[in-house]
Homo-oligomer: A and B are copies of this chain.
Amino acid sequence: MSASRDIDSLIDMMARLPGLGPRSARRAVLHMIRKKELLLTPLADLMHHVAASVRECANCGNIGSADLCDICQSEKRATGEICVVEDVADLWAMERSAVFKGRYHVLGGTLSALDAVGPEELRIPRLVERVTEEGITEVILALNATVDGQTTAHYIADQLEGQVRLTSLAQGVPIGGELDYLDDGTITAALRARKEL
């Protein structure tokens, strides 16, 4: 019974991934089994590699394989601009648009009284330090257009008032919309038309 039990466990675990349910998990597992050499084994290898090497950047909260992520390590990205995003998915969305050349600060969420998420949990004190340490001239607040996202943006703006140019993504981000759902062109337009806070 062991292969069947492993297959069942694999389906259950795949079904917990966002966007997959029991049915698509079953299809995915059967597909992987049919393509064992091309898909199942390489996927397992890659997952082990990623699990062993992935870590959070000590500077910005991005994902990388060293104490500092690729972007924080790259001197080319020291443009004096920091783009503040809620999570790594948003950072990836910004990178796909390939318009922003500076560095990021990944909050890992938004301020929330309900969930007791305060500024420390969101690395906001570290952001304030970075502005001085890295000689930052502009902070772009690329937070989602949700109530919590905008509350967080205003809190950060208060902390950095007078120290740096503060901008936010403008035109193109729909009300209630989330960055990661937007196409690259919309993000590009929103970044180009960014406005002073």
Contacts and interface: CB of A to CB of B under 8 A. Distances in A.
10 contacts: A3-B65, A4-B70, A6-B65, A17-B31, A19-B27, A20-B28, A23-B180, A43-B44, A43-B47, A44-B48
Contacts of A10: 43, 46-47, 50
Interface stretch (A33-41, A123-131, A138-146, A151-159): A33-41
A193 interface: no
Stoichiometry, copies per complex: 2
Interface residues of A, number: 52
Contact of A63 (B19, B33, B49): B33
Given A27-B19, A88-B30, A40 B47 contact: yes
Interface string A1-34: 1111011011001101111100110111111110
A27 B65 CA distance: 19
Contacts of A99: none
B43 A4 contact: no
A74 B77 CA distance: 63
Nearest to A36: B51
A51 B46 contact: no
A88 B70 CA distance: 44
Given A18-B28, A46-B13, A54 B7 contact: yes
A7 to B, nearest CB: 6
Contacts of A39: 13, 16-17
